[in-house]
Amino acid sequence: MITLADVQAAAARIRDNVLRTPAIRSDALSRATGAEVFLKLDNLQATGAFKERGAANRIALLNHNERGAGVIAMSAGNHAQAVARHAHLAGIAATIVMPRHTPSTKVTRTRSWGADVVLFGETLAEAAAHAHMLAAQKGLVFIHPYDDPMVMAGQGTMALEFLEDFPDLEVLLIPAGGGGLVAGSAVAARAIKPDIDVFGVEVEGYAAFAQALAGQPIEVGGATIAEGIAVRDIGQNPLAVLRAMNIEILTVSEHAIERAIAVLAEGAKLVAEGAGAAGVAALLSFPAQFAGRKIGIPICGGNIDPRILANTLLRNLLRDGRLLRVVMEIPDRPGVLADISTAIGSRGGNIIEVSHHRLFTSPSVQDAQLEIMIEARDAAHGNAIASALEEVYIVRRV
Q: Would you state the pLDDT for residue 367?
A: 78
pLDDT score, position 17: 96
What domains, with CATH codes, occur in the chain? 4-50+149-315 (3.40.50.1100), 51-142 (3.40.50.1100), 322-397 (3.30.70.260)
- Confidence (pLDDT) at 170: 98
Report how far residue 228's alpha carbon sits from residue 204's, in angstroms, rounded to the nearest whole number: 14
Inter-residue contact 263 to 29 (CB < 8 Å):
yes
CA dist 38 to 22, 111, 120, 150, 214, Å?
10, 34, 40, 27, 30
Q: Check residue 261 and report its DSSP letter.
A: H
| Residue 109 CA neighbour count, 13 Å, CB half | 18
**79-101, pLDDT tens digit by residue?**
999 999 999 999 999 999 998 88
Rounded Cα distance between 79 and 309, Å, is: 21
CA 333 to the chain's CA centroid: 50
**Calpha distance 76→103 (Å, rounded):** 8
Exposure string of 236-250, with b = 16+ CB inside 10 Å and e = fewer, is ebbbebbeeeebebb
pLDDT tens figures, 168-184: 999 999 999 999 999 99
- Residue 358 has a pLDDT of 66
Residue 355 phi, psi (nearest 5)? -135, 120
Q: Could you give the maximum distance between any two Cα atoms of the chain, in Å?
A: 83
Quick one: pLDDT at residue 362? 56
Q: Strands of 367-375's sheet, edge to edge?
A: 350-357, 367-375, 323-331, 394-397
> Exposure string (b/e) for 158-187, b if CB count within 10 Å is 16 or more?
bbbbbbeebeebbbbbbbbbbbbbbbbbbb
pLDDT in tens, 335-347: 899 999 999 999 9
Q: Measuring CA to CA, which residue among 194, 45, 69 is closest to residue 143? A: 69
Low-confidence ranges of the chain (pLDDT < 50): none
Q: Give pLDDT, residue 67.
A: 97
